[in-house]
């Protein structure tokens, strides 16, 4: 019994690229205590105002750059991703986000004066104001420990909240390091805390906080929403996807192929907003397939050893390797051609070879389910209409990409795709423009990150009505009288009775 308790008291963080133990971290025993602590210190943080909070966030940005090597090494060690995926994607995102929210929070959350068209309310001062919810619980996945756990805490802090971050139990080290960085940047204790643990820790966090920001699979997202319903706690959900790419016959095929290879293989294919299936118009299908197969075959894979050492890193989460292998095998059995890759990489570490599948269709899980690994399935389509139909034939609606030299047509096709973000002649790049809201449609999520909505979700809007100059008694107050009712009724009919013919 003692051994079981002992075994449960820590989480062993493993380097997926080498199989070595990185560190053991203690599980958080009492999540409620973290939230109570956060609650106690939040009012002073809110009272500090935007400028005071911005000063801390900007110092944290500097800290991040000054500690870049330590941050990159930590991310690489617990995810097995490449140096570039840690440095140019995660670290750069964090630095951008710290400055962005420090600058934009006062603009997005400024009091809004409102004018009303209702004559019965004329003369009043009407204001919408945004107040922080209090304590935000951020629950994150393993694929981007900085972008999708820490990243979501930044706007919550900028809005005046305290946060408790529960990173994935597979990748807790980055959040712990950033917690240290924020403290060293002058963030008062208790405003950013890391809760270590798996699903029970997540559930305890949901029960205790005022708002939940969740990033992870659709399956868990549903559970999170159900749990939050018990306490009527608002949730924002960023969930799974199966992002389609459409390549039209007039596209720059070389650019489309390069983009397809990068966005399907970047981060080992473990990116929510990316390219996960391609639909290519028949006239350029063979050319596209030949190009992507040749380019993917040249990608270098293995344990990362600094910048430029490899292109594609490890599979971070052990069970994900089985999902990738299953999807590829099932597609192969159903008649798909494996042009390159198609197997687990032999040797130490957890790797799946970068894989291109041709001649696939929607009977295969590789085209319809989230594979979340380094695979690029490519399907031939007759025309744009078929491509759009197939792109939309999915429960997901996260991102999408359209490649064509006719950008007006590309835009028109984009508007027919059911996804929260669509790029024309690009993919996923919208994620870097923090001014643009990013949120999934359908089963890919609820709410947005980035843009005004990406910080307002961490607030409660309060409607304020102020009556400055007023009589002792308003006309509609008690007692009711037939004469006044008739007068007001006539007013209502006069005001609303016209138009609409
Ligand atoms: P996951 O759903 O398994 O886990 C996510 C987090 O939820 C983890 O921290 C986990 O411990 C926690 N959790 C698990 N069960 C819980 C429960 N019952 N209550 C509360 N918390 C619980 O996801 P994952 O495997 O870590 O991440 C991969 C998934 O994340 C993919 O589906 C990917 O598409 C998605 N993702 C989406 C985005 C986006 O922006 N939409 C970004 C990154 C990842």
User: Cβ distance 377 to 331 under 8 Å?
Assistant: yes
Assign 3-class secondary structure to 367-386.
Answer: HHCCCCCCEEEEEEECCHHH
Q: What is the mean pLDDT of residues 72-92?
A: 98
Q: What is the mean pLDDT of residues 326-354?
A: 97
Question: Cα dist. 493→83, 486, 499 in Å?
Answer: 69, 10, 12
Q: How sure is the predictor about 3, in pLDDT bands with cuts at 50, 70 and 90? A: very low
**What is the tens place of the pLDDT at every residue in 276-307?**
999 999 999 999 999 999 999 999 999 999 99
| Residues with active-site annotation | 238, 272
d(C-alpha 87, C-alpha 90), whole Å: 6
What DSSP element (H or E) covers 338?
strand 337-340
Residue with tokens 């971290």: 25
Residue 322, Cβ neighbours under 10 Å: how many?
12
Q: Closest residue (by CA) to atom 20 of ligand 1?
A: 202
Estimate to the nearest angstrom the gap between the alpha carbon of 317 and the chain centroid: 18
Per-domain boundaries in the chain: 4-239+451-460, 244-435
- The residue to mutate among 220, 438, 448, having the most atoms of ligand 1 within 8 angstroms of its beta carbon, is 220
User: Cβ distance 458 to 133 under 8 Å?
Assistant: yes
Nearest-atom index, ligand 1, CA of 197: 11
Query: What is the pairing mode between strands 125-132 and 112-114?
Result: antiparallel
Angle CA 206–210–211, to nearest 5:
70
d(C-alpha 352, C-alpha 344), whole Å: 4
Nearest-atom index, ligand 1, CA of 398: 41
User: Cβ distance 150 to 175 under 8 Å?
Assistant: yes
**Nearest CA-CA partner of 299 in 357, 222, 352:** 352
End-to-end Cα separation, the chain, in angstroms: 78
Check pLDDT > 50 for residue 6.
Answer: no
- The residue to mutate among 216, 266, 395, having the most atoms of ligand 1 within 8 angstroms of its beta carbon, is 216
**What is the tens place of the pLDDT at every residue in 162-197?**
999 999 999 999 999 999 999 999 999 999 999 999
pLDDT, residue 315, reads 98
Q: Closest residue (by CA) to atom 23 of ligand 1?
A: 216
pLDDT, residue 8, reads 59
- The residue to mutate among 25, 85, 140, 141, having the most atoms of ligand 1 within 8 angstroms of its beta carbon, is 141
d(C-alpha 301, C-alpha 98), whole Å: 32
Q: How sure is the predictor about 431, in pLDDT bands with cuts at 50, 70 and 90? A: very high
Q: Tell me, in angstroms, the distance from the centre of ligand 1 to residue 435's CA.
A: 24
pLDDT, residue 119, reads 87
Q: What is the CATH number of domain 244-435?
A: 3.40.309.10
Q: Closest residue (by CA) to atom 37 of ligand 1?
A: 239
d(C-alpha 146, C-alpha 320), whole Å: 20
List CB contacts of 481: < 8 A, sequence separation 6 or more.
Answer: none
pLDDT, residue 501, reads 74
Give me the percent of the chain exceeding a pLDDT of 90.
96
d(C-alpha 492, C-alpha 264), whole Å: 59
Ligand 1 shell residues, CB under 6 Å: 139-144, 148, 166, 168-169, 198-199, 202-203, 206, 215-217, 220, 223-224, 227, 238-241, 272, 317, 370, 372, 398, 440, 445
Nearest-atom index, ligand 1, CA of 221: 2
pLDDT, residue 1, reads 35
Question: Cα dist. 250→283, 284, 383, 391, 402 in Å?
Answer: 9, 8, 11, 19, 11
CATH top-level class of 4-239+451-460: alpha beta
- Phi/psi for 196 (5° steps) reads -100, 130
User: Cβ distance 108 to 89 under 8 Å?
Assistant: no
d(C-alpha 421, C-alpha 398), whole Å: 7
Asked if the peptide bond before residue 277 counts as cis, ω within 30 degrees of 0, the response is: no
Q: What is the mean pLDDT of residues 100-126?
A: 95
SS3 317: coil
> Residue 119 gets which letter from DSSP?
G
Q: What's the predicted TM-score (pTM) here?
A: 0.96
**Tokens describing residue 458:** 């961490």
Q: Tell me, in angstroms, the distance from the centre of ligand 1 to residue 133's CA.
A: 23
Q: Tell me, in angstroms, the distance from the centre of ligand 1 to residue 357's CA.
A: 27
d(C-alpha 205, C-alpha 193), whole Å: 12
SS3 content of the chain, % helix, strand, coil (to 5): 45, 20, 35
pLDDT, residue 164, reads 99
pLDDT, residue 5, reads 42
Check pLDDT > 80 for residue 322.
Answer: yes
User: Cβ distance 279 to 247 under 8 Å?
Assistant: yes
Check pLDDT > 60 for residue 77.
Answer: yes
d(C-alpha 306, C-alpha 294), whole Å: 25
Nearest-atom index, ligand 1, CA of 169: 11
Mean per-residue pLDDT of the chain: 96
**Nearest CA-CA partner of 102 in 143, 52, 148, 35:** 52
Q: Tell me, in angstroms, the distance from the centre of ligand 1 to residue 239's CA.
A: 7
pLDDT, residue 409, reads 98
d(C-alpha 307, C-alpha 136), whole Å: 35
């Amino acid at each position: 019994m003692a051994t079981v308790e002992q075994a449960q008291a820590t989480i062993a963080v493993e380097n997926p690229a080498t199989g070595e133990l990185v560190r053991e971290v203690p599980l958080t025993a009492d999540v409620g205590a973290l939230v109570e602590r956060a609650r106690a210190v939040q009012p002073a943080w809110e009272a500090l105002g935007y400028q005071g909070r911005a000063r801390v966030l900007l110092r944290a940005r500097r800290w991040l750059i000054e500690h870049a090597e330590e941050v990159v090494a930590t991310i690489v060690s617990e995810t097995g991703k490449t140096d570039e995926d840690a440095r140019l994607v995660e670290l750069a995102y964090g630095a951008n986000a710290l400055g962005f929210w420090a600058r934009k929070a006062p603009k997005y959350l400024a009091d809004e004066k409102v004018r009303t068209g209702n004559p019965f309310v004329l003369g009043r001062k009407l204001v919408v104001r945004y107040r922080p919810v209090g304590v935000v619980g951020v629950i994150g996945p393993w694929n981007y420990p900085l972008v999708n756990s820490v990243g979501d805490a930044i706007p919550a802090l900028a809005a005046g909240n305290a946060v408790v971050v529960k990173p994935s139990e597979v990748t807790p080290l980055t959040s712990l390091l950033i917690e240290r960085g924020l403290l060293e940047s002058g963030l008062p204790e208790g405003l950013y805390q890391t809760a270590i643990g798996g699903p029970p820790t997540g559930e305890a966090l949901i029960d205790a906080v005022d708002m939940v920001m969740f990033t992870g699979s659709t399956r868990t997202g549903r559970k999170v929403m159900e749990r939050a319903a018990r306490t009527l706690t608002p949730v924002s959900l960023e969930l799974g996807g199966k992002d389609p790419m459409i390549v039209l016959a007039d596209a720059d095929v070389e650019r489309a192929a390069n983009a397809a290879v990068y966005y399907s293989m970047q981060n080992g294919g473990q990116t929510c907003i990316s390219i996960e299936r391609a639909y290519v118009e028949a006239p350029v299908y063979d050319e596209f397939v030949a190009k992507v197969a040749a380019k993917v075959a040249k990608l270098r894979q293995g344990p990362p050893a600094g910048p430029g050492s490899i292109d594609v890193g490890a599979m971070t989460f052990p069970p994900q390797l089985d999902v990738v292998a299953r999807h590829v095998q099932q597609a192969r059995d159903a008649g798909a051609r494996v042009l390159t890759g198609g197997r687990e990489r032999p040797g130490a570490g957890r790797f799946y070879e970068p894989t291109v599948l041709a001649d696939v269709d929607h009977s295969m899980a590789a085209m319809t389910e989230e594979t979340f690994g380094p695979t690029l399935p490519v399907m031939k389509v007759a025309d744009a209409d078929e491509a759009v139909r197939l792109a939309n034939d999915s429960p997901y609606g996260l991102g999408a990409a359209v490649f064509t030299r006719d950008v007006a047509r590309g835009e028109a096709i984009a508007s027919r795709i059911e996804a929260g973000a669509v790029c024309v002649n690009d993919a996923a790049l919208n994620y870097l423009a923090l001014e643009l809201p990013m949120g999934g449609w359908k089963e890919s999520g609820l709410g947005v990150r980035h843009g005004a909505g990406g910080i307002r979700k961490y607030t409660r809007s309060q409607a304020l009505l102020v009556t400055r100059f007023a009589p002792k008694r308003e006309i509609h107050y008690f007692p009711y009288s037939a004469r006044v009712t008739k007068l007001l009724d006539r007013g209502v009919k006069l005001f609303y009775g016209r138009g609409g013919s």
